[in-house]
């Protein structure tokens, strides 16, 4: 189970493609499963943290519970926002920060 208070949660780990979930909330880092090893791609983790922090600064509370789920080929955005315009703004901001990865916006619009 993913803690909503964690800023870096490692899930997966089997096979070649590990998946990272990076929360945009500035909380301490917590592993999802203590039996899993630290990922061998520390530069990706650092970039993921920096991207989440940059999005948090740009959006200034527009999206609640914003998380970025990273894999080798895509970034999945999750969270809640008040309008479809806000959802589009998150996609546009993420697209500028993430090079060469497909962005899947699964942010829920709550009215």
**What are the extents of the domains in the chain?**
8-109
Average pLDDT over residues 79-88: 94
Mean pLDDT estimate for the chain = 70
**Band of the pLDDT at 44, cuts 50, 70, 90?**
low
Residues with Cβ < 8 Å from 102, sequence gap 6 or more? 73, 74, 75
Residues with Cβ < 8 Å from 62, sequence gap 6 or more? 81, 82, 86, 89, 90
Ranked by mean pLDDT, the top range of 1-15, 21-35, 70-84 is 70-84
CATH T-level assignment (fold) for domain 8-109: Helix Hairpins (1.10.287)
Q: Alpha helix locations (H) across 60-110?
A: 84-97
Whole-model pTM? 0.58
- 3-state DSSP assignment of residue 74: strand
What values do phi and psi take at 87, rounded to 5?
-60, -40
Instruction: Sort 69 into a burial class: Cβ within 10 Å, 0-12 / 13-18 / 19+.
Output: buried
Q: What's the pLDDT tens digit per position in 2-19? A: 434 333 333 333 344 444
Predicted confidence at residue 98, as pLDDT, reads 86
């Amino acid at each position: 189970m993913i803690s909503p208070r964690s800023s870096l949660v490692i899930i997966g780990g089997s096979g070649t493609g590990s998946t990272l979930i990076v929360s945009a909330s500035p909380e301490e880092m917590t592993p999802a499963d203590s039996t899993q090893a630290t990922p061998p791609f520390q530069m990706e983790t650092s970039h993921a943290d920096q991207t989440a922090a940059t999005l948090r600064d740009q959006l200034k509370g527009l999206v609640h519970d914003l998380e970025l789920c990273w894999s080798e080929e895509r970034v999945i955005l999750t969270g809640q926002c008040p309008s479809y315009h806000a959802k589009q703004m998150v996609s546009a901001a993420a697209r500028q920060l993430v090079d060469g990865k497909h962005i899947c916006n699964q942010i829920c619009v709550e009215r």
